[in-house]
A and B are shown apart, each in its own frame.
Chain A
């Protein structure tokens, strides 16, 4: 129940196209869903995050869509650029009596945007 499943494992998109990465979770207690971007040799950097009380959140070219009933959420990168080529991780965490905020990560998606 603690898993977050991410797909696809890798993705190749043409410049200007839309990149879509999907995640699914089992634990309905999760209530915070961030996406991270990681470049080689760097740590994960927070891109955008969503909570279950909204179905969509947009920041620039990045949009999270959230489907609470299906227990799925996805990252859309509009007008994908070669500079977006990186590994993307979805994650989930929950508040609760333990109050930790520890993140459970998906396995990652390697995105390549071709010029």
Chain B
């Protein structure tokens, strides 16, 4: 058990809809990272928050947004969903912002019908 909790485990929705994915980091970790895993793109970094503030952005679509709350949990919001957004979305956490071990949750599998 990595200590990172992601909910829900599965999401099935339709094109054009909006969903929210939730992540609770390991106790004491201040950084939260979001990654997308798909068959064609592999594991891609989306966005990072550190202690409530956005720290880095990767290949994240404008339709996607995230935030980190005062209790350090994070949410990834995906809107105007398209078929191509179907993927596994992982959250990882680490103590700080530098090169430190990142521990991953078990992901949310998003299926767009």
> Which A residues are closer than 8 A to B by beta carbons?
31-32, 34, 36, 41-46, 49, 51, 89, 91, 93-95, 98-108
Contacts and interface: CB of A to CB of B under 8 A. Distances in A.
Interface of A is mostly: loop
Contacts of A51: 99
Interface-centre pick from B35, B90, B99 (highest chain A CB count, 10 A): B99
Interface of B: 2, 4, 6, 31, 33, 35, 42-45, 48, 55-56, 58, 90, 92, 94, 96-107
Interface of B is mostly: strand
Contacts of A45: 2, 104
Contacts of A34: 101-102
Nearest to B109: A41
A101 B98 contact: yes
A44 B99 contact: no
A42 B106 contact: yes
Contacts of A44: 43, 90, 104
